[in-house]
Amino acid sequence: MSQSCIHWFRKGLRLHDNPALEASLRDCAELYPLFILDPTIHNSTLVGLNRWRFLLGALRDLDESLRKLNSRLFVLRGKPEEVFPKLFSEWNVTKLTYERDTEPYSVSRDEKVTSLAKKHGVTVLYKVSHTLYDIDRIIEENNGKAPLTYNKMQAIVKSLGPPKRPIPAPTAQDMKDVQTPCLDEDRYRIPSLQELELNSEGLGEEKFPGGEQEALRRLDQHMERKDWVCGFEKPQTSPNSLLPSTTVLSPYVTTGCLSARTFWWRLTDVYQGKKHSSPPVSLHGQLLWREFFYSASVGIPNFNRMEGNPVCTQVDWDNNQEYLDAWTEARTGFPFIDAIMTQLRQEGWIHHLARHAVACFLTRGDLWINWEEGQKVFEHLLLDGDWALNAGNWQWLSASTFFHQFFRVYSPVAFGKKTDKNGEYIKKYLPILKKFPSAYIYEPWKAPGSVQRAAGCIVGKDYPKPIVTHEVISKQNIQRMKAAYAKSKTDKEAESPSKKQGTKRKSDSVLDMMKKKTKAT
Amino acid sequence: MKRGRTSLKSKCLPFPSHEVRAKIRKWRAASRFALTHAEDWGNLPHYVVLQIFQHLSLVDRARAASVCRGWNDVFHTPDLWRRFEFELNQPTTSYLSSTHPDLVQQIIKRHAQHLQYVSFKVDSCTESAEAACDILSQLVNCTIKTLGLISTARPSFMDMAQAHFVSALTVVFVNSKSLSSIKIDDTPVDDPSLKVLVANNSHTLKLLKMSSCPHVSPAGILCVADQCHGLRELALNYHLLSDELLLSLSSEKHVHLEHLRIDVVSQNPGQTHFHSIKRSSWEALVRHSPKVNIVMYFFLYLEEFEPFFCEETPVTHLYFGRTVSKEMLGRIGLNCPRLVELVVCANGLQPLDEELIRIAERCKSLTAIGLGECEVTCSGFVEFVKICGGRLTQLSIMEEVLIPDSSYNMEQIHTEVSKHLGRLWFPDMMPTW
């Protein structure tokens, strides 16, 4: 039976390892590869300029690859539930395929579209290929709950066996009987930044071009350095090297330009027979962390919020717009933090240890702002901004969930010094501080007036004074964190107030608060 | 009959007198009338409504109190007002809700004498701290047992006029006469106010927390120790600690001290001079109170540690908030035999094998340890765990602290350590983002 099929690209912007796309080709006479710019998620509040550029690049790359197979990418703008009914009739669609996405918005959107499709007599088919495993299966394997420790995750993965092998991209042979109408129709073309009313003036050099070709090229390049891959230990890499010291394949995995399974199996091939570092610090481990947070995002309700999130410690974060703006706009007065936030805004990528430093600084370390605010900023600016990973990592770094060693605070002064004594990274992203000597580059406010004048930069005038005194505030924050943990403990043990005459005071054990909440793991 | 019905229906109007209500109840019982839900609620006995109210949040209780006079009466039962936390926040800068000013007025008017366990939570604005003090000044006829002043963000009590603070606090000290627990960390309390506290509450005072109170002198706190013989828990900064204080707390008249917390803090390197405490003073304390927990929080710069741990120090819980040197950790192994818990935020990049092993050997009561930015070789760590064995109930080590060596790699370490601990153990991890 010849089908007229729409394959709906959302993430999974690739032709390789795309089982849903493969499914769309079965018995297919007419194929419509589709991407919808949905104002609910593709808007300038959520998506920063760098991310827009990356997305459009990925779409252009996809279109190019499809044209080589005598097809093309159709791009439409609008809400999916409004766009689809028109397309169903216009294109006489009989089948709709897509790659499963577990984000809450995606799940409800897909439900709406599926019921609309049924009304139009369109069969709907989806496949799992954005994650290594089917997340529902992982949760099922863990007695219906998301694993709350990485070690539990590893155990489950071991029992499930390795992930499915990736499938190859469709070839011209596979597509020989498939037609794509409207090949030259302009109205479905990919819009430019200007057409989307985005001002491209603010954009810097494109360090990470979007697209499947670029993703695969980078993958090849890195796999060639086999010995490096085998010895890979991510925490040992430096947060402030001038060139990224890790693979920077994350933006491609997030958007699906690179399949996680393809990445996994290429690594396995490299590992074969060679001595290698084992997870979690190895590259395999990184993919497994992604899986861990995806499963948490599915199994835990309200995962991107503190309130209503059953595993997240409820903390009385401050509502301080001034602090939040200073952090977002890279003017905290701490050069290490400001340099990282500058790189983030300019390039859309920062090393993961840099993320730890700024996340800790914003939340439990110094500014005591809710991690949800940091989450929003990262979502806007990070090329690899991913709903599940963002929420999960922010909770981890703020010691709200999964992790409770709150005394381990990253010092905004000392942490960067370890790998970059002379502050080259700071000088690169904050040129105003270029002339500061290494003794003061991390703490310019301590430099005597003469040094500041010689460097052509007066603290308080050309560069901000530090927004907090780290030593004072971190001490206070450690106590606040302790209080938040204690409160959540007593909230759980809450009894009828009439029975509480006066709680019996226990000995002040700091380490009581360090206990990992090994509830249902 | 009909008249009885209509008067019962009018829930929203103030109820008729007890007399009438009693009559209606009697009549109802006699007539075996099947009543609807709406008619029952207004007639619930006081103690039932009280029980229900105790499960409600304050906001819901206040709403329920507006339903009828009967419920309003229950709302004002003294028992519901023994414990109260005043939350004082400026709406422009704080997420947190604030206790409604009308409610504050009601409490001062009707319930000041019922309040026994009171706390004030204030945000970073001076106005909030001042508002707290205004309330305090009005709690004249009260028998407060527990008082807590909590600065959630910054020490805002320190920003207000000291005279205002002290006079407000003195009102409570003078009027309560039965204060047993006081938490006034980060406030401008001074020696004269402590004298007033002691003059009025020396027989009842059991707990005093006053870390980071810069206006108090060692003499001031000594006065408290000398007079308040029931004092069991004390928290203060190191500059207030003296040999005389320890001896006073160990005098025959004094009860056993249960908990002593000492904050050792330096804001700017080299600016604070730290005196030492004689070994004999410590010994006297431990002799008098053999079970006392001595908790020390250190927030110092590396060069400032000199005066500490040169001799035997009976500390039980040690917490290093900033970097601490290898040498210091070595001293701790030598001189802290009572050590139960040790937390090290950061040390540096020299392996701490020797120091940890010595701590394991000499600190036989050690049950909990946490290591942040430090380094320990895997073999050294295994040796440490072997010596401690199962008594280590808390072992919180960041994964990056452990350095694999020729004997153990990361995978082997967790099995080896789990074996010696007698339970499944993994290091703490940070995810790769």
Q: In this complex, do B428 and A317 lie within 8 Å of one another by their Cβ atoms?
A: no
In 3D space, the residue among A414, A330, A408, A316 whose CA is nearest the CA of residue A368 turns out to be A316
User: B237: which strand partners?
Assistant: B263
Q: How confident is the model at residue A519 (pLDDT cuts 50, 70, 90)?
A: very low
| pLDDT per position as a tens digit, A385-408 | 999 999 999 999 998 988 877 778
Ranges A219-223, A343-347, B278-282: which has the least confidence:
A219-223
Q: What is the pLDDT of residue B13?
A: 44
| Prediction pTM value | 0.80
Given B54, B341, B345, which is nearest A408 (Cβ)?
Answer: B345
Distance CA A91, CA A86 (A): 8
Q: What is the pLDDT of residue B227?
A: 95
What are the start-end ranges of the H helices in A348-386?
352-360, 371-381
Structure tokens at B346: 């950061």
Measured between beta carbons, which residues in chain B are less than 8 angstroms from residue A466? none
Distance CA B337, CA B359 (A): 9
Structure tokens at A317: 């974060």
Residue type, A300: I
Q: Is A294 at the interface with chain B, CB within 8 A?
A: no
Distance CA A182, CA A248 (A): 37
Q: In this complex, do A509 and B96 lie within 8 Å of one another by their Cβ atoms?
A: no
Instruction: Give A408-464 as a 3 state SS string.
Output: CCCCCCHHHHCCCCCCHHHHHHCHHHCCCCCCCCCCHHHCCHHHHHHCCCCECCCEC
Measured between beta carbons, which residues in chain B are less than 8 angstroms from residue A393? 431, 433
Distance CA B359, CA B156 (A): 40
**ipTM score above 0.90:** no
Q: How confident is the model at residue A233 (pLDDT cuts 50, 70, 90)?
A: low
Which of the residue ranges A478-492, B377-391, B399-413 has the most confident prediction, judged by mean pLDDT? B377-391
Rounded to the nearest angstrom, the minimum Cα separation between B429 and chain A is 8
Measured between beta carbons, which residues in chain B are less than 8 angstroms from residue A496? 54-55
Q: How far apart are the first and last CA of chain B?
A: 74
Given A355, A478, A496, which is nearest B321 (Cβ)?
Answer: A478
CA atoms in the 13 A half-sphere facing the CB of B253? 8
Q: How confident is the model at residue B409 (pLDDT cuts 50, 70, 90)?
A: confident
Q: In this complex, do A497 and B259 lie within 8 Å of one another by their Cβ atoms?
A: no
Q: What is the pLDDT of residue A276?
A: 59
Q: How confident is the model at residue A282 (pLDDT cuts 50, 70, 90)?
A: low
Provide the angle, in degrees to the nearest 10, between the axes of the packed helices A335-347 and A321-328.
60
Pairing of strands B402-403, A123-127: unpaired
Q: What are phi and psi of B53, to 5 degrees?
A: -60, -30
Q: Quick check: A41 pLDDT over 50?
A: yes
Peptide bond into B337 cis (omega under 30): no
Q: Which residue has the higher pLDDT, B353 or A521?
A: B353
Given A150, A408, A496, which is nearest B55 (Cβ)?
Answer: A496
Measured between beta carbons, which residues in chain B are less than 8 angstroms from residue A319? 93-96
Which of the residue ranges A205-214, A507-516, B120-129, B405-414 has the most confident prediction, judged by mean pLDDT? A205-214
Q: How confident is the model at residue A228 (pLDDT cuts 50, 70, 90)?
A: low
Question: Is the dihedral angle over the CA atoms A456, A458, A459, A461 positive or is it negative?
Answer: negative
Q: What are phi and psi of A495, to 5 degrees?
A: -115, -175
Q: Quick check: A275 pLDDT over 70?
A: no
